[in-house]
Structure 1
Amino acid sequence: MEFLAEYASFLAKTATLVIAILVVLSAIAGMRGKGRRKPGGQLQVIRLNEFYKELRERLESGLFDKAQLKALRKQQAKAEKQQKKAKASDKSEEKSRVFVLDFDGDIKASATESLRNEITALLTLATPRDEVVLRLESGGGLVHSYGLAASQLARIREAGIPLTVCIDKVAASGGYMMACIGEKIISAPFAVLGSIGVVAQLPNVNRLLKKHDIDFEVLTAGEYKRTLTVFGENTEKGREKFQEDLDITHQLFKDFVGRYRPQLHIDEVATGEVWLGIAALNRNLVDELRTSDEYLSTRAREANLFHVHYAERKSLQERIGMAASGTLENTLVGLWSKLGRLR
């Protein structure tokens, strides 16, 4: 037990020292970089056809012996040569392109900044012969944030470029607002979809404040500048106005979805309910049941796939902060692991 205590003390001191150094470096970087940070990031493009090819080749290497593998590679090389020759002689047979984007949404739709840059970039090259595939995962969030994200996707539709949205896990509320922009929506059988509704909730502690003789005043200019509050006393008139605003937002949401999915019976699905993919298909919320992996691997046989991602540039201070967080986590995991073994 004495050794255990000494070891734990040593790890704690080491972690403290490392984190202290990183904090100091972070502060210095913050002061030096204040007001000088350059905006922007970097557009990354990966050929997914090569990714699928490498997976297949790795599997073939494990399944076949050397002689079989050599014969297979020779056959594949011959087939590729013939395809290139045919492509050179007939330009009309040139493969179309599929641009693959990802959107992993939080409550503020923070990924919108990357999405808008990705779309701006691909619209400079993409044509109606191409396709954009969005792999979407989001449970929704702020109305204005997801409204902007959906508007970015609408740029693709307006440019006449086919847009396919793939949902493997969830596209609800604001997530479905984005999904409905797609000309085709593909869902995994048990993905969660729908929630075409609006919700707002807030606590009110006015009675608690009164109980402790605490006054809270709200001064406004404009009859409905403030309807419901956390600290003030809410009125029935304020509640009615707040509900009216929610109803208006819900109607706009329904109109938006109905515009892009006219095949929906909008009043039947705009109840705030969610459905799994199988049930969503029956309600025309989606067009097909498949995973994104299945769809993309199929498209890779007939088109050139490009994964496009705009990576935001992180400041030195942010990188040091991430390093400090990782160091602390690794130290705690290591300490816990050692304690478990020494007990």
Structure 2
Amino acid sequence: MLKFLRRLLFTTIGAIVTALFIVLFFFLGILTVASLSSDTEVTVEDNSILVVDLNSVIKERVNEDPFTQLIGESPFGEAQLGLNQILKSLKKAATDDRIKGIVIESGTPQAGIATIDEIRNALKTVKDSGKFIYAFAPIYTQTGYYLSSVADKVYMPPQGMLEYKGLSSQRTFFKGSLEKLGVEMQIFKHGKFKSAVEPFMLDHMSKESKKQTSVYIGSIWDYMKEQISESRGISIETLNRLADNSSMFNDNQILLDNKLVDGLWYKDQLLDELKKITDTELNDDLASVSLSDYKSAKVKKKSKGFTKDKIAVIYAEGGIDDGSDDGINSEKLSKTIRKARRDSSIKAVVFRINSPGGSGMGSDVIWREVKLCQQVKPVIVSMGDYAASGGYYIACCADTIVASPVTLTGSIGVFGMIPNAEKLLTNKLGMTFDGVKTNTYADFPMINRAMRKDEKAMMQTSVEKFYKVFIGRCAEGRSTSSEAIDEIGQGRVWSGENATHINLVDVLGGIDTAIEIAKEKAGLEKYRIKELPEQKSPFEEIFSGMGAQAKAFAAQTFLGVNYEEIKLMNQIKEIQPIQARLPYSIEIR
């Protein structure tokens, strides 16, 4: 027994020492990478090709993470790219005489359609500057092809795959699962189109939900076809026919015959073609630079002199006060807007919103600061993939609202949900509850019993009250009546294109359009961009985020494909009772 304990002790000490050594090794690695990853200028050769690889998750902006650089895509997260940096690099490439052209290797980007469209428009600007753009990928998802279709030439290997089939939007419904568990969702809402609650009360889409979804995905699909038709010289009729025939499962010669691609080439054939158009010897390597490296490259430009005047770009991405680590914290965001308002060097604000909404109270807190800011300096909203429900609430008082034609917006409606888990807790788990209270509603709300009739009436009154406030805010911001907002509200989701016809959006465009409008309204000739909120340093980001990332990784490992659904259900306990948000998960693909 003594030998066993001694062996156990030595084994334990050995494991601890080994673990400490591994931690020390990674920490030293992080220090090394961090020192090497400071803003070292990248040398770009003349006649270079910019290689644009966007096969990653694309967020509004990301921090440079030396830990990810050290070990690649870590087991606690996934590689991410910042849209802000992508757009900056492409804008720089358009005027960089060293860049001869671009090769897009982005067949599988992971981003919303509005994000993809914004990058596509930036690539179009590079193309208009006289530089060539080629695209190559072994597999093109539909969004990957939409992005790549802007190129002069689109290539794929003979046995590659191209997804082109039209758009669909599918919902997941939890009603049946909740019934089996013995959980009833007690639901209150205003808005016949407010479908955020449907997954918890129905096992199918309502006719209102199907109607609104058909309208906005139809609008988005029409826009995508128009853009592909213009770039590729293919008629809309042909594009519809190809989508109906599900071209990804047919012979790839069909793609070539119908001009979706320009050639079924292997990579070496593409490289030979690039060498010809760049006058590079066949036995020499092409001069190239990756998008990730190019961000550190300097471009000589005429000095405009120093200016203290700034346009602040304030980012709001994710759910509002939904309990997630990467969403919008209303208090923190409000503080950021307040600082921008008080900063005399900031002459205008571009409020970049990519949010499906969330807490009604949190939305109102942010709205207040946006309104105060708008009273002293121009505030221009730029909408990303989503700016709906609470995301529209915080946008409505801006001087000008800019959206992509494929942004999802509107969803002006309110709902509340309180779960009743009495059957689960008592009938299935054998738990009972007892207690005392001093007043009528001292024990409200509780999840271990059904709500009484008077409690339900109180909840519905609260929802109706907030809806009235919501449409009032929108009416004031859009210089119209509450009745007019109610007509287009009721929780209905619109595309950005649709929204321009009903006074929810003023201008179609991206963040550069919003910045240009801010510049004009502030009367600026020279200005600097200041991005807010201030981001954490790489080390702060690593050590503050690894715990949450590790928990997410463990959940994904054990739950597999059910992870997203379980995560959504788990957020029920975190959210506030009154919500202004999109359906929990709108995925268009």
**Contact 2:380/2:518, CA 8 A, preserved across alignment:** no
Larger mean CA deviation between 199-208 and 307-316 belongs to: 307-316
What letter is aligned with 2:407?
A
Structure 1 pair 193–49 and aligned structure 2 pair: CA distance change class (3 A): closer
Residue 54 of structure 1 is matched in structure 2 by 92
Q: What is the CA-CA distance between 1:296 and the residue it aligns to?
A: 3.7
Q: What is the CA-CA distance between 1:192 and the residue it aligns to?
A: 0.7
Residue 307 of structure 1 is matched in structure 2 by 530
What letter is aligned with 1:105?
G
Out of 475, 491, 514, the position equivalent to 1:258 is 475
Larger mean CA deviation between 146-155 and 110-119 belongs to: 110-119
Once the two structures are superposed, the pairs formed by residues 23-102 of structure 1 within 5 Å of their partners are 54-58=92-96, 61-62=99-100, 80=302, 97-102=310-315
Q: What is the CA-CA distance between 1:244 and the residue it aligns to?
A: 1.2
What letter is aligned with 1:55?
A
Q: What is the CA-CA distance between 1:175 and the residue it aligns to?
A: 0.7
Structure 1 pair 95–317 and aligned structure 2 pair: CA distance change class (3 A): closer
Structure 1 pair 226–22 and aligned structure 2 pair: CA distance change class (3 A): farther
1:273 and 2:489 matched? no
- Three-state SS of the structure 2 residue aligned to 1:263 is coil
Once the two structures are superposed, the pairs formed by residues 197-208 of structure 1 within 5 Å of their partners are 197-208=413-424
- Three-state SS of the structure 2 residue aligned to 1:279 is helix
**Contact 1:98/1:304, CA 8 A, preserved across alignment:** yes
Structure 1 pair 103–181 and aligned structure 2 pair: CA distance change class (3 A): same
Once the two structures are superposed, the pairs formed by residues 211-230 of structure 1 within 5 Å of their partners are 211=427, 214-217=431-434, 219-230=436-447
Once the two structures are superposed, the pairs formed by residues 1-343 of structure 1 within 5 Å of their partners are 18=19, 22=23, 54-58=92-96, 61-62=99-100, 80=302, 97-108=310-321, 109-110=328-329, 112-114=331-333, 116-117=335-336, 119-121=338-340, 123-126=342-345, 130-159=347-376, 161-211=377-427, 214-217=431-434, 219-263=436-480, 265-296=484-515, 303-311=526-534, 319-320=542-543, 322=545
1:188-224 Cα offsets, whole Å, 9 max, x none, are 0011111111111232122344536643235443333
Structure 1 pair 223–241 and aligned structure 2 pair: CA distance change class (3 A): same
User: For 1:223 and 1:20, how far apart are their aligned partners in 2?
Assistant: 60
Which TM-score applies when normalising by structure 1?
A: 0.64
- Three-state SS of the structure 2 residue aligned to 1:145 is helix
Q: What is the CA-CA distance between 1:62 and the residue it aligns to?
A: 2.1
What letter is aligned with 2:349?
V
What letter is aligned with 1:164?
I
Larger mean CA deviation between 293-302 and 306-315 belongs to: 293-302
Larger mean CA deviation between 206-215 and 235-244 belongs to: 206-215
Structure 1 pair 157–206 and aligned structure 2 pair: CA distance change class (3 A): same
What letter is aligned with 1:167?
M
User: For 1:300 and 1:258, how far apart are their aligned partners in 2?
Assistant: 26
- Three-state SS of the structure 2 residue aligned to 1:229 is coil
Structure 1: 5+ residue stretches without partners: 1-12, 27-45, 66-75, 88-93, 330-343
Structure 1 pair 53–258 and aligned structure 2 pair: CA distance change class (3 A): closer
- Three-state SS of the structure 2 residue aligned to 1:203 is strand
1:113-169 Cα offsets, whole Å, 9 max, x none, are 155235414532147xx321111111111122222122221221122x111101021
User: For 1:184 and 1:143, how far apart are their aligned partners in 2?
Assistant: 23
Structure 1 pair 201–121 and aligned structure 2 pair: CA distance change class (3 A): closer
1:29-54 Cα offsets, whole Å, 9 max, x none, are xxxxxxxxxxxxxxxxx9x9986763
Q: Number of matched residues?
A: 273
Residue 6 of structure 1 is matched in structure 2 by none
- Three-state SS of the structure 1 residue aligned to 2:409 is strand
Q: What is the CA-CA distance between 1:303 and the residue it aligns to?
A: 4.5
Give me the identity figure in percent: 20
**Contact 2:337/2:373, CA 8 A, preserved across alignment:** no
What letter is aligned with 1:195?
S
Larger mean CA deviation between 270-279 and 117-126 belongs to: 117-126
- Three-state SS of the structure 1 residue aligned to 2:405 is coil
User: For 1:306 and 1:151, how far apart are their aligned partners in 2?
Assistant: 24
Residue 29 of structure 1 is matched in structure 2 by none
**Contact 1:133/1:163, CA 8 A, preserved across alignment:** yes
Which of the two has greater helix per residue?
1
Structure 1 pair 241–300 and aligned structure 2 pair: CA distance change class (3 A): closer
Q: What is the CA-CA distance between 1:111 and the residue it aligns to?
A: 6.3
User: For 1:20 and 1:177, how far apart are their aligned partners in 2?
Assistant: 51
Q: What is the CA-CA distance between 1:305 and the residue it aligns to?
A: 3.8
- Three-state SS of the structure 2 residue aligned to 1:199 is strand
User: For 2:98 and 2:514, how far apart are their aligned partners in 1?
Assistant: 22
Structure 2: 5+ residue stretches without partners: 1-13, 28-83, 102-130, 132-277, 279-299, 322-327, 554-589
Q: What is the CA-CA distance between 1:299 and the residue it aligns to?
A: 7.2
Structure 1 pair 99–318 and aligned structure 2 pair: CA distance change class (3 A): closer
**Contact 2:310/2:530, CA 8 A, preserved across alignment:** no
What letter is aligned with 2:475?
G
User: For 1:253 and 1:168, how far apart are their aligned partners in 2?
Assistant: 21
**Contact 2:320/2:390, CA 8 A, preserved across alignment:** no
State the structure with bigger RCO (CA 8 A, min sep 6), 1 or 2. 1
Q: What is the CA-CA distance between 1:55 and the residue it aligns to?
A: 3.0
Structure 1 pair 95–269 and aligned structure 2 pair: CA distance change class (3 A): farther
